[in-house]
Amino acid sequence: MIDEIVSLRRIGFRFIALADDNFYPVTLTDLRLAREQKNFAKVAELTAIRDERFELMAELAKLPKDMVFFTQITMEAGEDADYLDAMRKANIKGALVGVEAVTPEGLKAVFKDWNCSGDALAKQLQTFREHGVHVLGSFIFGLPTDKPATFDATVAMALKAGVTFAQFVMMTPFPGTVDFGRWEKEQSTHPTLVGDVPITRYWLIPIEVRPKMFTPHPSMSSDEIRERTQRVWDKFYDWPAIWKRSACTPTLTSRIAFIFLSKLYRQMYAGTGISTDSARRKKSKSWARWTAKQCKRLFQAKPMPELQSPAWQVASDMGPQVRLDFPRRSEPFVVLHEEE
């Protein structure tokens, strides 16, 4: 991973996403439960995984200081100050956190009832920022437990918790999940078709006619959920709110970049994703393209072709140790065995 990141920085990339579904693979609760069960083999396994992740972050910290990393993580990381501090030192400045819902009922509906709710949720989200990790909070609307008041409560919580960015998505059942299996079973007797395509295969439906909501809600129509979701996006990303959040950046230039990026994010994920009118959708896409060009200028970096990779000693289960030398990109890739 470090070698790949170095190769990217050489050609001018300094903003890099660590594409991990959960960058926090071992929680403090996992370790505590294994110790209480006296499962020492499990403790050793979990400790090794945790140590490996700390080792990776220590290597990231040695890279050029202008590099910025982003990843995905679960709420439990907010309880682990040492881990968050290691992320900050590694310049992992942001993480997508799956908050999903702000009420106990909503969390139970998405099988995340271990997450906090209410004031405890706001405090835990604030912990990330206190340790230098900015949160992109992800919230779901359209859950069976949602009510009209849920939308206002969610955006109020996001603003109160001080999350740097937020996304508000409508409930989408993905194949392999419990929700999808239940939905597919319900649709098996009287399937809903869009054209000739069953709605349970919504990814095959052309975007221009694809519904925004797939499963019926017990108390709200799809249009009501869509409109309320749009209003939440608008409130979180209005100019005063963005300007207030931009204070997290160190310079005026960075603050301007933050404002552009906020508007771009809102336009990409709300303006084009929720608007059903084709004219509005076309206008949103044009605005997103223009904003993206301006953002690209702000985030470009000077290439560092002379940046060197470390020389790694990799223990092989198949034979002797192997040394992997990664020279500059213009040179051939070399593998040297120990005996050579």
Reported as a pLDDT band with limits 50, 70 and 90, residue 118 is low
Q: What is the mean pLDDT of residues 308-323?
A: 63
Roughly what angle, to the nearest 10 degrees, separates helices 252-266 and 278-299?
150
DSSP lists the bridge partners of residue 97 as: 73, 137
Task: Tell whether the model's pLDDT for residue 113 goes beyond 80.
Answer: no
The domains located in the chain, with CATH, are 15-171+215-279 (3.30.750.200), 311-340 (no CATH)
pLDDT for the residue numbered 279: 60
Q: What is the mean pLDDT of residues 113-123?
A: 68
pTM score of the predicted model: 0.81
Q: What is the mean pLDDT of residues 172-178?
A: 90
Residue 104: partners with Cβ closer than 8 Å, 6 or more residues away: 113, 117
Task: Tell whether the model's pLDDT for residue 82 goes beyond 50.
Answer: yes
Kindly state the tokens that stand for 246.
Answer: 């931009």
Reported as a pLDDT band with limits 50, 70 and 90, residue 135 is very high
Kindly state the tokens that stand for 252.
Answer: 């005026």
Reported as a pLDDT band with limits 50, 70 and 90, residue 325 is very low
Residue 7: how many other CB atoms lie within 10 Å: 15
What's the rounded Cα separation, in Å, for the pair 249 and 257? Answer: 9
Please say whether the dihedral angle defined by the alpha carbons of residues 172, 173, 175 and 178, taken in this order, is positive or negative. Answer: positive
What is the per-residue pLDDT across 41-59, written as a single tens digit (0 to 9) for each?
999 999 999 999 999 999 9
pLDDT for the residue numbered 9: 95
Instruction: Express as a percent the part of the chain with pLDDT over 70.
Output: 84
Q: What is the mean pLDDT of residues 153-162?
A: 92
What's the rounded Cα separation, in Å, for the pair 236 and 156? Answer: 9
Kindly state the tokens that stand for 205.
Answer: 């439906």
Per-residue CA distances from 297 to 14, 258, 300, 337 (Å) = 13, 13, 5, 44
Is the separation of the CB atoms in 328 and 304 below 8 Å?
no
What's the rounded Cα separation, in Å, for the pair 93 and 82? Answer: 15
Of residues 103 and 26, more confidence is placed in 26
What is the C-alpha end-to-end distance of the chain, expressed in Å?
26
Of residues 327 and 192, more confidence is placed in 192
Q: What is the mean pLDDT of residues 197-215?
A: 89
Task: Tell whether the model's pLDDT for residue 330 goes beyond 50.
Answer: no
What is the per-residue pLDDT across 248-279, written as a single tens digit (0 to 9) for each?
998 998 898 899 889 888 888 875 445 455 66
Kindly state the tokens that stand for 250.
Answer: 């160190």
Gyration radius of the chain's alpha carbons: 23
